[in-house]
Amino acid sequence: MNANDFLSGGFAPAPESTDHFEIKKTYDLYIGGKWVKAAKRFQTTNPANGEVLSEVALAGKKEVNQAVKAARKAYDEIWSKLSGAERGKYLFRIARLLQERAREFAVVETMDGGKPIRESRDVDVPLAAAHFFYHAGWADKLTYAFPGAEVSPIGVVGQVIPWNFPLLMAAWKIAPALACGNTVVLKPAETTPLTALKLAELFEDAGLPAGVVNIITGAGETGQSLVEHPDVDKVAFTGSTAVGKAIRRSVAGTGKKFTLELGGKAANIVFEDAAINEAVEGIVTGIFFNQGHVCCAGSRLFVQESVADKVIKKLQKRMESLVVGNPLDKNTDVGAINSASQLERIKELVKAGKEEGACIWQPSGGVPRKGNWFKPTLFTECAQSHRIVQEEIFGPVLAIQTFRTPREALTKANNTPYGLSGGVWTDKGSKIFKMTTGLNAGVVWANTFNKFDPTSPFGGYKESGIGREGGLHGLSAYCNLSH
């Protein structure tokens, strides 16, 4: 692609190079430590320009079964018998190999999914490595993690992940599963399979025993075959609430364990006593990070009435300076929308927002001609009943409302089917306590937003899911504990 196809916000283009690694023309399934062909293939593209990056195998029922069998065999014969210290060594090795190839993983993540290289380089890849390091440390200390309990692995885990943080979600899922002695079949999302397949190459390099992790590619049907497979002992899913509900129905009565990380509609609440400039940065990070393709995105902004005009003016000024364009350019703040269908969904909800009477504002700059793009957008004059306030848009669109009292902010913030995350901006510690305990959300940030760490549990209430990932809570979801 030509760098001039993109806007660079007044900066000289500074694209990351793509000549230091290979994306193969085709990828097979990684099953039982071998690359296995499937009857069908599908394409994965670069959403920033529509170019086809690779053709990957489409796993049908037969291949899903093969992968679960391979995981069972590896569980029975090798992995469940290995000491924690030995499992930990593999995880440390994977973490280090990922760090060594960090640049390659960052570039491929950005090409396959559309997120800015700044984010894949500084957030996705380092955090993915951190998850392997963190769980490597626990592998031989599980009895200390859960004092008094007898700790044993669950068995074969079926994992299905989304397209918004493809590598990071793979690390979130695989690292704790392996640390606790389980084996894995993982299915990445259909628009972003490449970094999971590259992770399989790392597992080979790390000498991970065959079948301990199997990577199968495909779309919803492949995911469904995996989660419904009778020999899967636990299902771990991240994605939409609709699919999460279907999975919960399918595992009911089977005895399978499950964790579900679903959608969100987080409230980011700014009080008049907050440090306003910092809050504006936090609002921007909250909703425009990863084009708003973030389950915990701060997609609803609540501003105290007395400072609403000031905050919105500053926010608009800041949005004018956001660089929207080539995701591989190091100056880019907002990249491409992950798929044409996600772009359609964003457009539909934005249209509904206008029709229901909210007031739209977008910065003056344009977006590239080719590929999937949506300008950073905000809506004022929003009502609680508007679709853009109630439904997850999963795009760079912010719905702004005002409030007068903390109680009003809490009531409005909690009036949603979701309960994943939230944010509070205030100078008063007492207000932080009041708001964070009052918000019905699994994760609440105070005077910051979208901060993640492997030691910190993450997960939701209500329709945002069930179970936690990360920290001791996340670890416990991959063990049987008997007291």
Show which residues are catalytic.
Answer: 261, 295
By beta-carbon proximity to ligand NAD, the closer residue of 8 and 224 is 224
Out of 33, 162, 176, 457, point to the residue binding ligand NAD (CB under 6 A).
Answer: 162
Give the bridge partners for 383, in sequence order: none
Q: What is d(CA 336, CA 326) in angstroms, rounded to the nearest whole number?
A: 8
Q: How many residues bind ligand NAD (CB under 6 A)?
A: 26
Minimum distance from CB of 189 to ligand NAD (Å)? 4
3-state SS class at 38? coil
The conformational region for residue 292 under phi > 0 = left, psi -120 to 50 = alpha, else beta, is: left
Work out whether 224 is an interface residue with ligand NAD (CB under 6 A). Answer: yes
Those residues with Cβ within 8 angstroms of residue 429's Cβ, 6 or more apart along the chain or in another chain: none
Give the bridge partners for 258, in sequence order: 235
From residue 335, how far is each of 110, 286, 289, 372, 375 by CA, in Å? 9, 15, 9, 9, 10
By beta-carbon proximity to ligand NAD, the closer residue of 153 and 442 is 442
By beta-carbon proximity to Mn ion, the closer residue of 104 and 112 is 112
Work out whether 157 is an interface residue with ligand NAD (CB under 6 A). Answer: no
Work out whether 466 is an interface residue with ligand NAD (CB under 6 A). Answer: no
Q: Which residue, among 81, 84, 145, has the nearest Cα to 481 in the 3D structure? A: 145
Please state the length of the chain: 483
Work out whether 124 is an interface residue with ligand NAD (CB under 6 A). Answer: no
Out of 47, 113, 181, 263, point to the residue binding ligand NAD (CB under 6 A).
Answer: 263
| Start-to-end C-alpha separation, the chain | 59
Query: 369-398: which residues touch ligand NAD (CB under 6 A)?
Result: 392, 394
Torsion of CA 241, 243, 245, 251, to 10 degrees: -140
Minimum distance from CB of 320 to ligand NAD (Å)? 27
Torsion sign across C-alpha atoms 262, 470, 339, 190:
negative
Work out whether 223 is an interface residue with ligand NAD (CB under 6 A). Answer: yes
Minimum distance from CB of 55 to Mn ion (Å)? 12
By beta-carbon proximity to Mn ion, the closer residue of 395 and 454 is 395
Query: 337-376: which residues touch ligand NAD (CB under 6 A)?
Result: 345
Burial of residue 466, with CB atoms counted within 10 A of its CB: 0-12 exposed, 13-18 middle, 19 or more buried: middle
Task: Please check whether residue 74 is in contact with residue 210, taking contact to mean a CB–CB distance below 8 angstroms.
Answer: yes
Minimum distance from CB of 112 to Mn ion (Å)? 4
Partner whose footprint covers residue 44, from ligand NAD, Mn ion, none (CB < 5 to 8 Å by kind):
Mn ion
Query: 175-204: which residues touch ligand NAD (CB under 6 A)?
Result: 187, 189-190
By beta-carbon proximity to Mn ion, the closer residue of 180 and 196 is 196
Q: How is residue 355 written in tokens?
A: 């029709």
By beta-carbon proximity to ligand NAD, the closer residue of 99 and 250 is 250
Beta strands 465-466; 257-261: pairing state = antiparallel
Torsion sign across C-alpha atoms 343, 345, 346, 350:
positive
Task: Please check whether residue 456 is in contact with residue 442, taking contact to mean a CB–CB distance below 8 angstroms.
Answer: no
Partner whose footprint covers residue 112, from Mn ion, ligand NAD, none (CB < 5 to 8 Å by kind):
Mn ion
- For Mn ion, the binding residues (CB under 5 A) are 44, 112, 191
Minimum distance from CB of 243 to ligand NAD (Å)? 4
Q: Which residue, among 470, 475, 400, 424, has the nearest Cα to 165 in the 3D structure? A: 470
Out of 68, 186, 287, 295, point to the residue binding ligand NAD (CB under 6 A).
Answer: 295
Out of 57, 243, 324, 424, point to the residue binding ligand NAD (CB under 6 A).
Answer: 243
Out of 70, 98, 170, 227, point to the residue binding ligand NAD (CB under 6 A).
Answer: 227
Work out whether 238 is an interface residue with ligand NAD (CB under 6 A). Answer: yes
Work out whether 261 is an interface residue with ligand NAD (CB under 6 A). Answer: yes
Minimum distance from CB of 16 to Mn ion (Å)? 17
Q: What is d(CA 407, CA 425) in angstroms, rounded to the nearest whole number?
A: 15
Q: What is d(CA 394, CA 415) in angstroms, rounded to the nearest whole number?
A: 19
Which stretches of the chain bind ligand NAD, using CB under 6 A? 160-164, 187, 189-190, 219-220, 223-224, 227, 238-240, 243, 246-247, 261-263, 295, 345, 392, 394
